[in-house]
Structure 1
Amino acid sequence: MNLAYLSGNQSVASGRLKTLALVLIATPVLCFSLLLFVYIVDVPWMDDIDAFLGFIIGYLDSQTVAEKFHWLLVPNNEHRILIGKLITLAMYKLTGTVNFRWLIFAAFAFLLGLLGVFYRVFRSTQLPLLAFVPVPFLLLQPQYYLTTTWAITSLQHQVVVAMVIATIYLLADGGRSRFAGGLGLQILTSFSMSNGLFGWVAGAVVLAMQRNWLRLAIWLVVGVITILLYFYDFQNAQGNDSSITFFLKYPYLIFLGFFTFTGGLFDFFPDATIVWRSILPTLAGLMLIPAMLWLLWRMNEDILRGRAKASSLFDRETSLLQKRRYFFTGCYTFLMVNAVIVAFLRPRFGYAVMLISNYMIYAALLVTLLYLNVLSEQYRNLRTIDRWVRFGVVVGLVVWGMWYVLRLPKIAFRKQQILTQAFNQKYNETGLGPSWGSPFVALAKRSMDESVRRGIYQYPEAYYTPYEPVLNGEAHRQLPDSSLTLRISGGGYSYQAETGFNALPPLMHQSAVVVQSAQRTYLFPSSLPFSTASFYLNRPVKTIQAEIIIPMIAPGQYRVGILTPTDNRENDIHFSQQTITVP
């Protein structure tokens, strides 16, 4: 790879390498799209039920414009989610339904939009396209699968990140119309998730660096008004005040948590204990943050020292460089404010939250921005760029490959879990989030049942669909199979149920433990087909192992059995003589 040659050579070899770059850039985009197409399902999970189904029912039942506006802006849990609700409403107006697969794909469009913004910034460097290859590999990988395969998090994090960075891009340009567009976009972003409020800080930094004091004043006034409106009549603070107590007691965890969070892209041992697991991302954070600070100083030293020239004196190339510097400065500000808030508020839930999949999109963004930032600063030095691109390609491919290997079995099992829990919600009022006896049970049941009744939502078919009449009918009269023995252990939160080794004919992927009383039947999927070796080698699994979640189950005594789907559908349901009691 010789970028010095490519930048000035129009030969056939250069054209072929451009084609290669296009293929490489398209690869993570297509793989990520295929991942979503195969593994996301039309099933709401936890907050999805109230945020989208509860919202659309309340909106449709509203009699006045004020009431409809209330349903668009009313907080759900910790956030207002205006964009997510507008997309849901648009979907309902077009199709008469709410489909969670399409909600997730709509959020993915914002992620692709973010990639487009990064490409626009990259193109202003006039570097060969091959230099952009690491960006989609770093950004479009499944480490943060709980952000990309769950509707509520997709329509919060992906949407807000894309919109804030688009806002910063508009502000960095410096044009009057771009400022107006950025201001309007930031107002909309602010009501789409609380993280969007950090965009006001990032935008203020960009405008201050530009020394455009009138625009900064307008930005701050509108920002204060918007923030006050956001928190007006905001009831739920999630106990964040207890974070101060936690900080005073464990300040070192807050400090370390910041670096663990920012280096989270390199969390390559997700199944290790949290102490060992956090070492590599913490070390990565300790390297990434100084690198970011050095770049910030390099970009803004003249401004901070008062030596900056007037923008009118810049030639076009220098003007583009300065706009990129404003852009990166604003993006870093947004990410660092977010990182500080997460490190301060979340460790009280357990240090592992610093590496939870929901948040890891921010760690991927930091590394992506650092890579692009170096390209921006060194764009004239093609030898340095050549070495940096080689390094970026290696890191991008390693990160991309590692996270597909580590996450794909988990994503496949999550699909199986959600489909199975949809059965439990459909017939037992719990399954898709709420614990038995919690206030959320009645809310979830009302939203789900009413959505199904109105035709707004329909439960999807799954591996257990042909067995539903039997599981809820004849199976209650089925006698125990004395030859079936299950090992059941645990208690408290869950039981682990497992058949003996080779106790069953070869199975592939879909099987479940059945928990049944005289009134209710629950299913819990087997996890063994989704272990790393079984998943990638496609090996037959002759054992069922499932976690029986106790808080999901209504109190009572239950017998335990298994469901082993086959083509002939005969003798696929067996019950042992063992029972469990749920208090």
Structure 2
Amino acid sequence: MRTSSAVETRSTRSADRSTPTKIIVIGLIGLLLICFYVAVVRFSVNVPIVDDFMYVFTLTRLLDPAATWQKIVLLIIEQHNDHRILLSRLAFLTTYAFEGHLNFQTLIIVASLSVAGMVWLIGRLFRRAQLSSWAILPVAFLLFQPSYHANVWWALSIWQHTVTLFLYILLFYLVLKATGRYQVSAWLLGAVLVFSNSNGIVAWFTVVLLLAVNRRWKQAGIWAVSGIILAVLYYNLGYDFRSQGSFQVIIQHPVWVFKSVVSFLGGAVYLNGWRWLGIPNLWLVLGTGVSVMVIVILAWWRMFFDRVRPSVPFQVFAALALVLCGTAGAASLTRSDGHFSVIDRYQVYSVLCVISAYALALLTVKGRWNQSLVVGMNVVGAWFCLVAWQLYPPILAEKRQQLISQTYSLEHYNKSVVDNLFLLDPYWQGLWKQAVTKGQYQFPNTELSGVEPVLRQKAGGYVATSFNVKDTVVNELSVDHDLAMVENKTLPTPDYMLLQSTAETHILPARTLTAEQPFRASGPPIGVKTTFYPQALTPGNYRIGWLNVDGDKPVAEWTKQFYVKGADDASKPFR
């Protein structure tokens, strides 16, 4: 016999799912979705950065007439750093098949649809759990915002992280369906994910746990045996693991490893270190991380020891949370030095940590506690989303500016002084030239297209501007390069900075370093500090200038100052 409380709860949920409520919630989510995808289209650029170059090189090698079928298969599944990236490689090849050339902006836009996919799939799970229609809104607030901005302008990052996270949710959802068709689909998807992301093996192990919890022993055995086979293939097909001494780190530094894991789990609220809600950011991040960790531990305790089997939505979020915790551990061991483990491209994981903890708590508490949690998360989520839209669009604008300036250098010199990691190697630079010559990659049309005549014009006179030039040597990965910071604290920020030698003219992003406090009454002051970072320049004297682009009328101006690149001239930065 149903209790009056149960009847009351059910009637309340029915009221929440009424048509007016649905319209309001769908309208708000639609508005958030539009803002998010306008930003994606606005700030993404068809230009490779960092690891994206490896996709160009892979395509060039795949299209080599001498490539055998065996070599083609190995190139598609070959190691990238310490992991595999099968899914993203297949996406790049699909783009090439449809467009006839690699288009990184298309890849970013298509991959960003996975964010909407996550909101839809989580909403489907919430509906299955008969939760209030308002319960899904905090998820939209947390996902349709730009705090994980690396996944807006970096093609590899969004495919490697955001897309695979969506597919993990889908994987667990399919696994818990009993029919054979869904099981085959889940197995194939899981196999692709094993070779597509470092978390793939963790997700496969999580599937075995899920099947064991549901006492589907035969299927658990099949997944366990096939998982061992896939793991053996993963680690034996041309895999060159570079050991990080992870277990030794845990033994020697257990406190800071724990701190890094907790900061990863709570990193969503980092928001560029901004002190929001009046709480010091350090304590806010650590507090959020501890809360997430406790909720995940309690959820899996319930999975194993509760006499009543948890609902399918609960199991899906518990499985996702376990994969996220595995990511936190791996990232802390390989990326952290004992401080915060908050990395731009991993922020989407931290956001999903908060969403998973929220969903698990929501599926556990009942009655007024459930309603209070929904209301509280809507308030916090809305505030979080608003702050993120205040903080990160300027960062995205600067990233776009950097990519556009990089496009100019790549097109004219087959290298970039902003992002030159791979093209410093003659072998990779040769593959890049080959890809451009054969049209496998085509440069986008930007505001810097056709700017060469303006740069060649003789200035009527030098502009008297005083710059402060600082030289240091920075070691980044295995590359040694000179880092020059050129700044002017009074100059209104131009669109681009210029360095011109007798042989080359480099167009560089001009960045405004301002306080990161949002909601400033008068907005950030213009030109507080204008900086750029030229790397890997050919030794010589470089005249400093700046470039403003107003529509189709670019204007270049040159100063009286020079930056001198070269060890012999380090003591004389100006001429």
Q: TM-score w.r.t. structure 1 length?
A: 0.85
Query: 8 Å contact 2:549–2:555 — kept in the other structure?
Result: no
Counterpart residue number, 1:312: none
Q: After the TM superposition, which of the residue ranges 58-67 and 518-527 deviates more from structure 2? A: 58-67
Counterpart residue number, 1:405: 390
Query: 8 Å contact 2:264–2:289 — kept in the other structure?
Result: yes
Q: Does 1:188 align with 2:172?
A: no
Counterpart residue number, 2:571: none
Consecutive unaligned residues in structure 2, runs of 5 or more: 1-7, 475-482, 568-575
Separation in 1, partners of 2:73, 2:132 = 48
Within 5 A, what are the aligned runs for 1:181-580? 181-237=185-241, 239-270=242-273, 278-302=282-306, 307=307, 322-348=311-337, 351-352=339-340, 354-378=341-365, 381-431=366-416, 435=420, 440-471=424-455, 474=456, 481=462, 483-493=464-474, 494-499=483-488, 501=490, 511-528=495-512, 541=526, 545-549=530-534, 551-566=535-550, 569=553, 572-580=556-564
Could you tell me which amino acid in structure 1 is paired with residue 378 of structure 2? V
After TM superposition, give the deviation of residue 332 of structure 1 in Å: 2.2
Q: When you count helix as a share of all residues, which structure comes out higher?
A: 1
Separation in 2, partners of 1:568, 1:332 = 50
- Cα deviations across residues 71-124 of structure 1 (Å, max 9, x unaligned)? 211222233211112111111111111110111122112332222321221111
Separation in 2, partners of 1:202, 1:221 = 14
Q: After the TM superposition, which of the residue ranges 160-169 and 424-433 deviates more from structure 2? A: 424-433
Per the alignment, do residues 571 and 120 of structure 1 end up closer, same or farther by CA in structure 2, a change over 3 Å counting? Answer: closer
Separation in 1, partners of 2:16, 2:339 = 53
Query: 8 Å contact 1:25–1:133 — kept in the other structure?
Result: yes
Per the alignment, do residues 575 and 482 of structure 1 end up closer, same or farther by CA in structure 2, a change over 3 Å counting? Answer: closer
Separation in 1, partners of 2:554, 2:222 = 71
- Cα deviations across residues 202-254 of structure 1 (Å, max 9, x unaligned)? 111101111222111110111011111112234443x4334444444433210
Query: 8 Å contact 1:424–1:523 — kept in the other structure?
Result: yes
Per the alignment, do residues 283 and 9 of structure 1 end up closer, same or farther by CA in structure 2, a change over 3 Å counting? Answer: closer
Q: Does 1:152 align with 2:156?
A: yes
- Cα deviations across residues 147-194 of structure 1 (Å, max 9, x unaligned)? 332101111112221222211111223333322221111001111122
Separation in 1, partners of 2:374, 2:10 = 12
Counterpart selection for 1:93 from 91, 97, 100: 97
Counterpart residue number, 1:73: 77
After TM superposition, give the deviation of residue 261 of structure 1 in Å: 0.6
Per the alignment, do residues 22 and 246 of structure 1 end up closer, same or farther by CA in structure 2, a change over 3 Å counting? Answer: same
After TM superposition, give the deviation of residue 36 of structure 1 in Å: 0.2
Query: 8 Å contact 2:543–2:561 — kept in the other structure?
Result: yes
Separation in 1, partners of 2:518, 2:364 = 47
Counterpart residue number, 1:7: 13
Counterpart residue number, 2:41: 37
After TM superposition, give the deviation of residue 451 of structure 1 in Å: 2.5
Q: Identity percentage over the alignment?
A: 23
Separation in 2, partners of 1:439, 1:97 = 20
Name the SS for the 2:79 alignment partner.
coil
Separation in 1, partners of 2:104, 2:564 = 34
Counterpart residue number, 2:480: none
Q: TM-score w.r.t. structure 2 length?
A: 0.86
Separation in 1, partners of 2:463, 2:118 = 58
Per the alignment, do residues 391 and 443 of structure 1 end up closer, same or farther by CA in structure 2, a change over 3 Å counting? Answer: farther
Query: 8 Å contact 2:148–2:347 — kept in the other structure?
Result: yes
Name the SS for the 2:499 alignment partner.
strand
Q: Does 1:22 align with 2:18?
A: no
Question: How many pairs are equivalent?
Answer: 546
Separation in 2, partners of 1:571, 1:112 = 41
Per the alignment, do residues 42 and 335 of structure 1 end up closer, same or farther by CA in structure 2, a change over 3 Å counting? Answer: same
Per the alignment, do residues 540 and 301 of structure 1 end up closer, same or farther by CA in structure 2, a change over 3 Å counting? Answer: closer
After TM superposition, give the deviation of residue 4 of structure 1 in Å: 6.4
After TM superposition, give the deviation of residue 308 of structure 1 in Å: 5.4
